[in-house]
Each structure stands twice: as structure tokens, then as C-alpha cells.
Amino acid sequence: MSAALHLYRLQQIDTRLDQINARLTSIQNALENDSDLKAARQKQEEIAATLKECERALQEAERESTTQRIKLEQAEASLYSGKIHNPKELTDLQNDVASLKRRLSALEDRQLECMLALEEARAALEQAQKAYLSTQGQVISKNASLKTEQESLEKERETLLAQRQAVLPAVQANWLAQYDTLRQQKRGLAVTALHDDACDACGAAITRAHAQTARHAQQLVTCPSCGRILFAG
Ligand SMILES: [Zn+2]
């Protein structure tokens, strides 16, 4: 029996635990921070701000129209009152009326534009609200499946941790220390299988003699190339 048997088993457990932990972290992040929902909410807020701006512009155009209309009425009243006889004064007044009419017409155009923009913004906001609700629904069902996955991974982790506890007593303390160091140095993979006289992790060829030693129970043998512990099954 290869000396690395229990370490190899430990490696299998730890590799799966590493995968589970990475997946659990990403599930946790997805549950806490859903970018789709954030984007939908942001769009809704942007359109609501546009809508507010349209309402404000419309009110301002309406206020200004009213003011100009009053001025026009007053100017026209003076013009047709028959009280003004001075031709220069009359011409000035006629010019005022014409200019007020132009101004009023421009303001009415602006009012119309504002109303159209407001209608568009209302329709867009309605769309955005629907999109938000639909995204919210999707997120809820996606989160439900993420939560199911999370629970199942947590259960698997419990089982693996129990298995780990069962394997540990079979491993010599100094071998375990070597294993832990290698795990840190070799991106989590400290023990690798020996297949067809080659290291499974790095592919380096292993001499027959070296492979024979790896099959012995008494000592750990490492890959001469990558330094990982070799397990000969
Ligand atoms: Zn190797």
C-alpha cells in the first residue's frame, strides 16, 4: 500500500471542499448583490427623474404663457381702446402686440413639446416598472435555485468535513505538515496520482525505480519535477 494513500484521500476531500467553498462564496455574492435587479432599478430611477424634469419644464412653460397672454390682452386692450392717437405710440403698441404674439406662439410650441415628452416619459416609466417587476420575479426564482444549491453544498461540506476527520488520524503528523505546506505552494494540489509512470499533475515522466518506491508503504515520494507527493494506486 502506498504511503500516500490516506494523503491522497485527504487531497480528494480537500479538492472538493475547495470547489464547494468557492461556489458558496459566489452564491453568497450573487444573493447579496444582484446586478440585473440593480440595473433595472437604476433605469427606473433615471426615467422617473426625466419625468420630473418634463413636469417642471411644462409648468414653467404654462406659467410663462399665462404671463405673456395677460400682457398681450393688456396691449390689445390699449391698442383697441381708441384712447391712443399718437401714431408713434400706436406703431409701438402694434409692434408690441406682434412680438407678444410671436413669443406666445413659441411658448405654446414649447408647451406642446413638453407635453409630448411627458407622455413619452410616462410610457417609458411604465415599461421600466414592468421590466423591474419581471426582473425581480426572475431574481426571486434564480435566488430560490441558488438557495437550494447552497443548502445541498452545505450538506455535502458537512459530510466531507466528517470524512476528513475520519482520515486525519491515519496520517503521520510530519506528512500532514508537508501536505499542508504543499497545498499552500501548489494552488491546493499537494498529492497527485501516478499514471503510466508519469505525474498526473505536471506530466513529468517518473522512473520505474522512483515509481516502485512510491508504491512502498514506508516513505513519501515526490515528483522530481513539480514536487507534489506521488500516489501510486
Ligand atoms: Zn509533477
Centre of ligand 1 from the C-alpha of residue 203, in Å: 6
Does the pLDDT at position 215 exceed 90?
A: no
Give the distance (Å) from ligand 1 centre to CA of residue 56: 71
Beta-carbon contacts of 151 under 8 Å, excluding residues fewer than 6 positions away, are none
C-alpha span between 4 and 167 (Å, rounded): 12
Residue-wise pLDDT tens digits, 169-192:
999 999 999 999 999 999 999 999
From ligand 1's centre to the CA of 154, what distance in Å? Answer: 32
Return the number of other C-beta atoms located less than 10 Å from residue 226's C-beta: 17
| 3 Cα: distance to centroid of ligand 1 (angstroms) | 17
Ligand 1 centroid vs 204 CA: distance in angstroms? 5
The sign of the torsion formed by the CA atoms of 180, 182, 184, 187 equals negative
Q: Per residue in 146-156, pLDDT tens?
A: 999 999 999 99
Q: Which pLDDT belongs to residue 46? A: 96
201 has a pLDDT exceeding 70: yes
Q: What is the pLDDT of residue 35?
A: 87
CA of 226 to the centre of ligand 1 (A): 4
Residues with Cβ < 8 Å from 14, sequence gap 6 or more?
164, 183, 188
Closest CA to 67 of 100, 26, 40, 116: 100
Residue 163 binned pLDDT confidence (cut-offs 50, 70, 90) = very high
Q: What does residue 222 show for φ and ψ, rounded to 5 degrees?
A: -110, 160
| Ligand 1 center to 6 CA (angstroms) | 19
pLDDT of 85: 86
- Asked if 163 and 155 touch (Cβ cutoff 8 Å), the reply is no
Structure confidence by residue, pLDDT tens digits, 85-133: 899 998 999 999 999 999 999 999 999 999 999 999 999 999 999 999 9
Residues of the chain above pLDDT 90, percent: 77
Given this model, what pLDDT does residue 182 score?
97
Q: Mark the residues whose beta carbon lies below 5 A from ion ligand 1.
A: 199, 201-202, 204, 223, 225-226
Q: Output the average pLDDT for the chain.
A: 93
Interhelix angle 5-32/173-185, nearest 10 degrees = 40
- For residue 140, is pLDDT > 70? yes
Domains of the chain, start order: 5-9+172-231 (no CATH), 34-168 (1.10.287)
Secondary structure class of 205 (helix, strand, coil): strand
Q: Which three cell numbers stand for residue 16?
A: 472538493
193 bridge partner residues: 231
- Residue 194 Cα, ligand 1 centroid: separation in angstroms? 9
| Residue 205: band (very low, low, confident or very high) from pLDDT cuts 50, 70, 90 | very high
Distance from the alpha carbon of residue 189 to the mean position of ligand 1, in angstroms: 11
Q: Report pLDDT digits (tens) over 44-68.
A: 999 999 999 999 999 999 999 999 9
229 C-alpha to ligand 1 centroid (Å)? 8
- Checking if the pLDDT of 145 tops 70, the result is yes
User: Does residue 230 sit in helix, strand or coil?
Assistant: strand
DSSP label at residue 81: S
Ligand 1 center to 59 CA (angstroms)? 76
**pLDDT attached to residue 79:** 87
